[in-house]
Structure 1
Amino acid sequence: MTPLKPKVLFFDVNETLLDLSTMKKQIGEALGGKEELLPLWFTTMLQYSLVVSASGTYHSFGHIGAATLQMVAANHNISISENEARNIVTDSMQNLRPHHEVKDALVDLKKAGYQLVAFTNSSQDGLKNQFKNVGLTDYFDDMLSVEPTGKFKPFTDTYLWGAKQMDVKPEDCMLIAAHGWDVAGALWAGWRAAFVNRPGQQRFPLAPETEIVETDLNKIASILAAY
């Protein structure tokens, strides 16, 4: 039996749509040429975004990224000022290019009748600038930052808020993401999900079963177009 189409497809942005290769180089330069530290920094940024949310406070994702960049740098005897860290993070995140298959996949999904929404932990202004810089804005029906919720994904509240913004029920939403933690959060919030198995990424084994698992967005788009 062919599955029913989700009413709205929500896309994570960083790493799912946008390639982190240029960020790896810039963050690596800031950390003394150690490009291999990018995953550690990114994971630390996610960890402290959850610490901030769980503590009932809020700082922008970019500022958390800068603070954790300082932390990782300090552990490697590198001193980076707050302003320097914020400039490095902002510059690196604003100049990410889409993965090679992204635009074609988005066109195919639009042709298949889907409503497409970008859904990110980054700030609304940051998201708009990212998409403007690489020509992605017109591919989406809406662009949502979790900023108004005061919490970051994968808190359940963020997914329920996203569904409400698009005036659909959670079960009518599908998250498309390259991060196991994001897919797990969406599934536990009652959403459907597709996992983009980018290099170095894995699903969380304790999460509910993911509906679609493929290595790139073109393959996911082909499956969804047949729904």
Structure 2
Amino acid sequence: MAASQIQAKPKVIVFDVNETLLDLEQMQSSVANALDGNTQLLPLWFSTMLHHSLVSTVSNDYHDFADIGVAALMMVASNNQISLTKEQAKQAIVPPLLSLPAHSDVKPALAQLKQDYKLVSFTNSSNNGVKAQFQHAGLTDYFTHRYSVEDIKVYKPDLRAYKWLLEQLNVAPQEALMVAAHGWDVAGAKQAGMQTAFIARPGKALYPLAKQPDYIVKNLEELALLLTQK
């Protein structure tokens, strides 16, 4: 469904990658195993990783997102009296992260949208990381370009990240649609003036204090149907 008045047709659609396009279930299983099978610690690990990506940004001390994930996993393990080495944490995250499958709705939706729109991706992961992810998931050919915060060393949802992206695309904010399954990502993009679409995947929620996105849909196929009717 649309959450607000329908916007003008965007010139480019920008996709977040992890969880929006790619299914993190196998990586979550690997991380849970590293935490002695305690699945209740998974949300804490992910929020700790996001928290410290913002610490990295505001303190001007950039680190690769996967490295932050490893560090966050070690912190959660330590705080819960779980023995975990840096190498064990790395193996729990990096190989699974690079071999994630696409959600089942992704390829049909991208194929439909590619007929009418320029599609790009924008991720907090590294350039090499998303290249490997797209190759494994079979998504490379759907996109005109892949963008990473690695090139600006400022993590989403910092407004500077979206401003930089718009400069690379050479479009006005309202001419780009940011698509993400993260409330914090659509909140940042909306604050930067972009059109936004929230993919309400299981367990994902919008930030109530942020501006509402232009579209709220349950999956990408629903969004593709709305956008191809423009």
Short-chain TM bin:
over 0.9
What is the distance in 2 between the residues matched to 1:72 and 1:48? 13
**166-175 vs 57-66, which deviates more?**
166-175
What is the aligned residue count?
226
CA offsets, 1:26-80, max 9 Å, x none? 0011000112322211111000000110101100001000000000111121122
Of residues 98, 103, 106, the one that matches 2:102 is 98
The one-letter code sitting in structure 1 at the alignment partner of 2:216 is: V
Say if 2:134 is the partner of 1:131. Answer: yes
Residues 69-123 of structure 1: per-residue CA shift (max 9 Å, x gap): 0001111211222232223211121121111010000001012x11101110000
| Counterpart-to-counterpart distance in 1, 2:6 and 2:57 | 39
Query: Relative to structure 2, which stretch is displaced further, 118-127 or 159-168?
Result: 159-168
Structure 2 contact 156–162 (Cα < 8 Å) conserved: yes
User: Structure 1 runs of 4+ off > 4 angstroms?
Assistant: none
Please say if 1:70 is aligned against 2:74: yes
User: Is the 8 Å Cα contact of residues 7 and 214 (structure 2) preserved in structure 1?
Assistant: no
In structure 2, distance between residues paired with 1:18 and 1:105? 13
Decide which of 43, 47, 51 is 2:55's aligned counterpart. 51
Alignment of 1:6 onto 2:22: no
Which structure 2 residues correspond to residues 75-94 of structure 1 after superposition, within 5 A? Answer: 75-94=79-98
What one-letter code is carried by the residue in structure 2 that aligns with 1:118?
S
Which residues in structure 2 correspond to 1:1-227 (within 5 Å)?
3-111=7-115, 113-227=116-230
The one-letter amino acid of 1:109's match is L
Contact 1:179 1:201 in 2 (8 A): yes
Q: Distance in 2 between matches of 1:34 and 1:59?
A: 27
Greater RCO, 1 or 2 (C-alpha within 8 Å, sep 6+)? 2
How far 1:222 sits from its partner (Å)? 0.5
C-alpha contact (below 8 Å) 2:6/2:214 kept by paired residues: no
Root-mean-square deviation over aligned CA pairs: 1.2
What TM-score, normalized to structure 2? 0.95
How far residue 173 of structure 1 moved from its aligned partner, in angstroms, is 1.0
Letter in 2 for 1:25: S
The unaligned stretches of length 5 or more in structure 1 are none
- Given the two structures, how large is their TM-score scaled by the length of structure 1? 0.96
Contact 2:56 2:63 in 1 (8 A): yes
Question: Which amino acid is the alignment partner of residue 173 of structure 2?
Answer: P
Separation in structure 2 between the aligned mates of residue 156 and residue 218 of structure 1, nearest angstrom: 28
- Identical aligned pairs, as a percentage? 46
CA contact (8 A) 2:126 2:149 kept: yes
